[in-house]
Amino acid sequence: MVSLVPIARPAAPRAAPKPSKPLLRRATLSGTIRKTEEAELDSDFLSAPPSPSKRARVSFNPNVEEKIMEEYQAKGRSLESIRLEVKSSIEAHLKGDSEGYDAIKEVFSPRRADDEDDESKGDGKVEMQTYLLALTSYASLLNKGCSGLVKAVLACDWMGRDESFVKAYVHFLGSLTSAQGAYVGMVLGMLVGNFYGVRLSSGRLPGCPDINRDQLSSRIHVALKYLLRLIPSASSTLSPILAAKFPYAEEPKKLQITYIENLIRLSEYAPELKSDILAVITDRLVKIDVQMQIDLDDLDDEVAAAIVQAISLNPSREKDEGDDSDTDADSVTSDDDVDSDSKRIKEVQGNVEKMDAIIDRLFTIYSPYFEDPFSVEAASMFETLLGHFTNIILPTYRSRHTQFLLFHFAQTAEHLVDRFAGTCVQLAFQSGRPAVLKQSAAAYLASFVARGAHVPSHVVCQVFSLIGNNLDHIRAENEVTCRGPDLKRYSTFYAMTQALLYIFCFRWRDLISSSDISEEDDPAAFVGQDLTWTPGIKETLSRTIYSKLNPLKICSPPIVAEFAKIARHLRFMYVYPLLESNKRIRLSQFSSSQGNGALRDTGNGGNSESWHQLDAYFPFDPYQLPLSRHWVEKDYVQWKGVPGLNQEESDEDESGEEEEEEDEVDLDDETDNDE
């Protein structure tokens, strides 16, 4: 039997990591440099600035070719001369004389048109690099009083210059942040600001070789990797920056995806940030998910379905973004060319595409960890997903698709099925939690058990039994003082009962204890048969349904109607007399409060009773996003009609018998629309 109570599993001992090659090397000889192969810029080529408290130890290696560093000159002036100028200008600025200081700032200002000749000859580039080297030497002087100069250096065009300049620039960033911790956030913010995407023009500077977008992006990550290795504490500063700079939900899809791709690339060389990065992506995804669902709900069903179908027919509408393009924004049709309705539909379609692309990317990111669902990596990543579920997804009522990350990966192995179901049980039953969160956890539990194709039968029975036992406790504690159905007072009881009704409708076959009847051989084999149910199932539901708390009056009418119909057909239970008597009950006379904050059905504004009833909220309703739905198609239990039930209803109609139920519902009608 699988235990549904979450049990902390001890982590497998990890092998001791092998010593890695030092990323940051000190120079082996003052005034010399190592000869390196011409290669793409990488952090291995960057040596750490010398520690202010230690002198570099001199060593000679006969296998290393050494050569004297070429002397930098800017407009006939030596590096040493410019160092003296920089030092004296900074010191004078701090005393109130900023003439020389402002001249240095001007060196890093964007090039003017009349400066392009100097730039193309290399004079401007050499001058900027020489001043950069000089500033690196005196980074300890660049306190808060020099923030203007620091901002000018951070704003300069550096990514598209030659490799030697980029190395010098990254060295400057390292020296600055090491000597002046107050600038760490500013420097990291500048680098992360390029996660939205770099313009091609940044790699086409006068006098410099052309650099493509991939190379420009790589240089951003080389600089970040270098700083994080140099200053390990910078990770704690970087994490809130990543969240703060995350694109707003209304930003274009391409910008969102580009930012996420850069975050994932960052997590590869900064594993200490991986959990925070995945959490912030999930948090933003939920916000987009909620907004998308609100937009779809505001449209007519036919229009919403047409939008999804249009995306299905053209799953990839990405324009060809070659290196000739210098913009990251999609073209937007003029307001004059399109009426407001068409514009609204276009916006909704863009949001659906955005959501679809982001969650598809997340499925792709998580998938390698679950290739072996019994591995330590899978266990660790699943715990991360559970944390996101508990803290981000569960409290968000209108989340529609983000939770399918859990739905899919929880079904990769039975112990993960048990882990997710156990977490939902714990959240639903735990005392002290807000009632609305307990109701939501019950909905997730019911929806997962009902819809999960890889949830085994014995887990279905265990969950049914666990919920039933809990209902018995709640009923015993409250039935004596109960005046009647009241969603405010007994919200957890009603949410749990609705969970059982929903599970029964989908998984009643798994609740049959033993039977020689084969539905595969004869689809109508269950008709007219007295079935043997799992012990306690019928008794528990009977005590619950016929208690003074009267859950069938509070639970969502479509769920109640479907349960009543199936239960009668299977000779499990006959509740129609109770439904008839419930029609004469007005919930408002028992309600403790109008604003109960429960998950309730508010769809019918003209029916006050709906305010006192639960919403038919089950988070794993049919998946709608066309691009990413392939991830969950094999995990999903589609609604199956009960054999012989439709024929029974037809016979009743032909004989003129009165229809006994008030509502009929197909619990999977959304799937029918999507197929």
User: What are the tens digits of pLDDT across the range 491-548?
Assistant: 899 999 999 999 999 999 899 986 555 555 555 666 667 788 999 999 999 999 999 9
In this prediction, residue 598 carries a pLDDT of: 53
Contact 522, 453 (CB under 8 A): no
H or E segment at 669?
A: helix 669-674
Q: Note the pLDDT tens digit of each residue in 167-195.
A: 999 999 999 999 999 999 999 999 999 99
In which domain, by residue range, is 147 found? 34-54+63-245
In this prediction, residue 322 carries a pLDDT of: 42
How would you class 599 by CB atoms within 10 Å of its CB: exposed for 0-12, middle for 13-18, buried for 19 or more? buried
Q: Which residues 6+ apart lie within 8 Å of 75 measured at CB?
A: 123, 127
Q: Note the pLDDT tens digit of each residue in 571-622.
A: 999 999 999 999 988 877 666 654 444 554 444 444 567 778 888 888 998 8
Pairing of strands 66-68, 73-74: unpaired
Q: How many CB atoms lie within 10 A of CB 364?
A: 12
In this prediction, residue 432 carries a pLDDT of: 85
Q: How far is Cα 327 from Cα 134, in angstroms, rounded to an integer?
A: 35
Is residue 45 one of the residues assigned to a domain?
Answer: yes
How would you class 341 by CB atoms within 10 Å of its CB: exposed for 0-12, middle for 13-18, buried for 19 or more? exposed
Contact 502, 460 (CB under 8 A): no
Pairing of strands 73-74, 77-78: antiparallel
Is the pLDDT at 28 greater than 60? The verdict is no
Is residue 339 one of the residues assigned to a domain?
Answer: no
Mean pLDDT is lowest, of 28-42, 56-70, 343-357, for 28-42
In this prediction, residue 666 carries a pLDDT of: 58
pLDDT band at 44 (very low <50, low <70, confident <90, very high): very low
Is the pLDDT at 556 greater than 60? The verdict is yes
- Count CA atoms within 13 Å of residue 226 on its CB side: 32
Contact 466, 586 (CB under 8 A): no
Q: How far is Cα 561 from Cα 661, in angstroms, rounded to an integer?
A: 6
Could you give the angle at the alpha carbon of 195 between the alpha carbons of 46 and 109, nearest 5°?
70
What is residue 77's three-state secondary structure?
strand
In this prediction, residue 4 carries a pLDDT of: 61
**Average pLDDT of span 91-98:** 93
Q: With CA atoms as reference, report the closest residue to 100 among 86, 83, 117.
A: 86
What tokens appear for 9 in the block? 């599993």
Note the helical H segments in 193-273. 213-230, 234-244, 253-269
Domain final residue pick, 210, 245, 280: 245
Q: How far is Cα 341 from Cα 354, in angstroms, rounded to an integer?
A: 20
What tokens appear for 352 in the block? 């659906």
Q: Note the pLDDT tens digit of each residue in 371-390.
A: 999 999 999 999 999 999 99
In this prediction, residue 22 carries a pLDDT of: 41
Is residue 276 one of the residues assigned to a domain?
Answer: no
Rg from Cα positions in the chain: 33
pLDDT band at 111 (very low <50, low <70, confident <90, very high): low
Q: What is the full DSSP assignment across 220-234?
A: HHHHHHHHHHH-TTH
Is the pLDDT at 24 greater than 70? The verdict is no
Q: How far is Cα 283 from Cα 437, in angstroms, rounded to an integer?
A: 17
Mean pLDDT is lowest, of 92-101, 107-116, 236-245, 646-655, for 646-655
Q: Note the pLDDT tens digit of each residue in 243-269.
A: 999 998 888 899 999 999 999 999 999
CA distances from 440 to 218, 396, 435, 499 (A): 43, 9, 9, 10
Domain final residue pick, 226, 245, 264: 245
Is residue 315 one of the residues assigned to a domain?
Answer: no
Mean pLDDT is lowest, of 325-334, 465-474, 514-523, for 325-334
Contact 643, 529 (CB under 8 A): no
Give the chain's mean pLDDT: 79
Is residue 186 one of the residues assigned to a domain?
Answer: yes
What tokens appear for 125 in the block? 């580039």
CA distances from 138 to 86, 101, 106, 491 (A): 8, 13, 18, 66
What is residue 434's three-state secondary structure?
coil
Contact 144, 90 (CB under 8 A): no
Q: Which residue has the tokens 């008030």?
A: 662
Share of the chain above pLDDT 90, in %: 52
Is the pLDDT at 70 greater than 90? The verdict is no
In this prediction, residue 123 carries a pLDDT of: 55
Contact 263, 281 (CB under 8 A): yes
CA distances from 361 to 33, 158, 201, 214 (A): 43, 31, 28, 19
Note the helical H segments in 514-592. 537-545, 551-554, 557-569, 576-582
Q: Which residues 6+ apart lie within 8 Å of 220 measured at CB?
A: 159, 191, 194, 195, 198, 262
DSSP state, 614? B
Is residue 499 one of the residues assigned to a domain?
Answer: yes
Q: With CA atoms as reference, report the closest residue to 412 among 458, 369, 361.
A: 369
Is the pLDDT at 152 greater than 90? The verdict is yes
Q: Which residues 6+ apart lie within 8 Å of 322 measured at CB?
A: none
What is residue 533's three-state secondary structure?
strand
**Average pLDDT of span 449-456:** 96
Contact 625, 405 (CB under 8 A): no
pLDDT band at 397 (very low <50, low <70, confident <90, very high): confident
Q: Which residues 6+ apart lie within 8 Å of 566 measured at CB?
A: 504, 505, 508, 572, 642, 645
Cα pseudo-dihedral 524, 527, 530, 534, rounded to 10: 60
Please state the separation of Cα 307 from the chain's center in Å: 23
Q: With CA atoms as reference, report the closest residue to 279 among 231, 253, 246.
A: 246
Is the pLDDT at 674 greater than 70? The verdict is no
Is the pLDDT at 467 greater than 70? The verdict is yes
Q: How far is Cα 527 from Cα 124, in angstroms, rounded to an integer?
A: 89
Return the higher-pLDDT residue of 160 and 373: 373
pLDDT band at 198 (very low <50, low <70, confident <90, very high): confident
Count of domains in the chain? 2
> Per-residue b/e over 560-571, b at no fewer than 16 CB within 10 Å?
bbbbbbbbbbbe
In this prediction, residue 433 carries a pLDDT of: 86
What tokens appear for 269 in the block? 């060389």
What tokens appear for 48 in the block? 């750490």
Mean pLDDT is lowest, of 185-189, 282-286, 640-644, for 640-644
pLDDT band at 304 (very low <50, low <70, confident <90, very high): confident
Q: How many CB atoms lie within 10 A of CB 519?
A: 13
What tokens appear for 207 in the block? 């006098």
Domain final residue pick, 191, 212, 245: 245
